[in-house]
Amino acid sequence: MEKIIRAFLPGADVASLAPLGEGIINTTFSVSDADGKRYVIQKVNTNVFPDPYSVMENTANVTDWMRKRLAEEGKCFDRCVPLFLQTEEGDYLYRTPEGGFWRCSRLIEGATAHVHVTDPALLYNAGKGYGEFVRLTDGFPAGTLTEVLPDFHNTKKRFQAFLEAVEKDVAGRAREVDREIHYLKEREELAGSIVAMLESGELPLRVTHNDTKLSNVLLDDVTGEAVCVIDLDTVMPGTVLYDFGDAIRSGAASAAEDEPKLDRMNFVSENCKAFKEGFLEACGEILVPAEVNNLMLGARVIVYEQAMRFLTDYLNGDTYYKTLFPGHNLIRARTQIRLFSQIPE
Alpha-carbon distance of 73 to 8, in angstroms, equals: 30
The pTM of this model reads 0.93
Of 34-43, 303-312, 325-334, least confident by mean pLDDT is 34-43
Alpha-carbon distance of 195 to 198, in angstroms, equals: 5
- Paired sense of beta strands 101-106 and 38-43, if any: antiparallel
- Each residue's pLDDT tens digit, 131-151: 999 999 999 999 999 999 999
The domain segmentation of the chain, as residue ranges, is 2-108, 120-342
- Which CATH code of 3.65.10.10, 3.40.920.10, 3.30.200.20, 3.90.1150.10 fits the domain covering 2-108? 3.30.200.20
CATH number 3.90.1200.10 given to 120-342: yes
Of 46-50, 118-122, 181-185, least confident by mean pLDDT is 46-50
- Each residue's pLDDT tens digit, 228-246: 999 999 999 999 999 999 9
Q: What is the pLDDT of residue 12?
A: 77
Q: What is the pLDDT of residue 65?
A: 98
Q: How confident is the model at residue 1 (pLDDT cuts 50, 70, 90)?
A: confident
| pLDDT higher than threshold 80 for residue 117 | yes
Give the helix ranges, DSSP H, for the chain.
Answer: 2-8, 52-72, 120-137, 155-168, 178-185, 188-191, 193-200, 240-251, 269-283, 289-293, 295-315, 328-342
Three-class DSSP category at 243 = helix
Of 20-29, 32-41, 236-245, least confident by mean pLDDT is 20-29
Q: What is the pLDDT of residue 23?
A: 57
- Each residue's pLDDT tens digit, 56-70: 999 999 999 999 999
Give the helix ranges, DSSP H, for 41-187.
Answer: 52-72, 120-137, 155-168, 178-185
- Each residue's pLDDT tens digit, 253-289: 999 999 999 999 999 999 999 999 999 999 999 999 9
Q: What is the pLDDT of residue 154?
A: 96
- Each residue's pLDDT tens digit, 170-197: 999 999 999 999 999 999 999 999 999 9
Is 286:138 a contact under the CB 8 Å cutoff? yes
Is 236:49 a contact under the CB 8 Å cutoff? no
Q: How confident is the model at residue 21 (pLDDT cuts 50, 70, 90)?
A: low
Q: What is the pLDDT of residue 24?
A: 53
Classify the phi-psi angles of 4: left when phi > 0, otherwise alpha if psi is within -120 to 50, otherwise beta. Answer: alpha
Q: How confident is the model at residue 252 (pLDDT cuts 50, 70, 90)?
A: very high
Q: What is the pLDDT of residue 198?
A: 97
- What average pLDDT score do residues 15-30 get? 74
Q: How confident is the model at residue 19 (pLDDT cuts 50, 70, 90)?
A: confident
